[in-house]
Structure 1
Amino acid sequence: MDQTAAFNALVRAYHSDLYRYAYWLSHDAAIAEDCVQETFVRAWRNWQQLRDQSKVKAWLLTILRREHARIYQRQPQAEHLDVDEMTFPAPEPHDDTQVQQLRSLIAQLPLEYREPLLMQLVVGLSGEQIGEVLGLEKNAVMVRLHRAREKLKQMANVQFPASQQESS
């Protein structure tokens, strides 16, 4: 398979995952698509630097995260968004109440826990892959994932009415 065909296969394989993650980061479809497109442009330019094909997804997510940060660096300071202050997009109409509540709870997690959790849930990365993207050891990622889940459980106990807790 030539380089162009291999890269096209890579785009087809990872576009959806990258878009979903970019949308979670930006909460804007146009910005998410711009991030994904720029990610693939940068990946194409640096294709020869990728030595381990098994790490391509983590490599692409690293590029995406950097591109997302660049977008906000290029905006005037008045328009700069604080990632910790961002709200998540409105749930889709077909989402049930539990999904809406879970989205709301995830949005309240500190960034250090929310980011690896979303990488696992939205993009499907392993602990090792998340560590590669975030520059952390796998054990540190696993601790953050565990703490994220524990915090979600604690928040759910506080926010969900007792009658819902008992019926679940």
Structure 2
Amino acid sequence: MISLFGRKQPEADSVSSDMALKQQRYHALVYAVHGDLFRYAYWLCRDRQVAEDLVQETFLRAWKSLDSLKDDNAAKAWLITILRRENARRFERKQFDLVDLDTVAVPDQHALSLEQGMENEWLRRHISELAEEYREPLLLQVLGGFSGEEIAEILNLNKNTVMTRLFRARNKLKDALEKDLQARGHNHG
């Protein structure tokens, strides 16, 4: 098609076809990683509404720059990076009232046994007590399912550093569990 000024204009079919392909790619991406992104966002903020907002903003930014994603296999790491940046922006924009995490009840999505609920709460508490340098790689591995190499890329760290931090995080949790078991043994012994 030629315009009034003698220039060729792109075919409408080509533009709509490109848009349809972008939409298909985007929907497949959202479908594949939405649950993982939400779990990670929820872990970061411990608020369902804020987590939903973070994920929504992450997907909005992903839509805007979807053409920059060259390797679909790297999509999950790319989206986690966007989500982490969105979470950081949250603190740049607004001052939040601080709350003692030990006094906040985290709603449980499943009807768990009392024992399982207690174990989950113990684990949440001890993971949240880890230094961020240990907590973040552990969460990316456990909640996000990322490999050491992917975590290194997301956090801009050397893979060996990530593996060391994961090892230390697990050891700190193991030590905390052993201390709790010893304390229970002495109390019931």
Residue 64 of structure 1 corresponds to which residue in structure 2?
83
Unaligned runs of 5+ in 1: none
User: Among the aligned pairs, what percent are the same residue?
Assistant: 46
Query: Which gives a bigger RCO, structure 1 or 2 (Cα 8 Å, sep 6+)?
Result: 1
- Matching of residue 25 in structure 1 with residue 44 in structure 2: yes
Q: What does 1:142-161 correspond to in 2, within 5 Å? A: 142-160=163-181, 161=183
The answer to whether the 8 Å contact 1:61/1:133 transfers is: yes
Give the aligned CA root-mean-square deviation in angstroms. Answer: 2.2
List aligned pairs for 1:112-127, cutoff 5 A.
112-127=133-148
Counterpart CA distance in 2 for 1:12 and 1:71 is 25
Distance 1:57 1:6 in 2: 13
Q: 2-side partners of 1:89 and 1:115: how far apart?
A: 22
Q: TM-score, normalised by structure 2?
A: 0.77
Displacement after TM superposition at 1:86 (Å): 5.4
The Cα of 1:25 is off from its aligned counterpart by 0.3
Question: Which of the numbers 118, 121, 141 marks the counterpart of 1:100?
Answer: 121
Structure 2 portions without partners, runs of 5+: 1-19
Instruction: State the structure with more CA Rg.
Output: 2
- Does 2:148 align with 1:132? no
1:85-138 deviation digits (Å, cap 9, x = unpaired): 756753626243222211211111111101110111111111111111111121
2:41 and 2:51 in contact (8 A); partners too? yes
Structure 1 residue runs of 4+, over 6 Å off? none
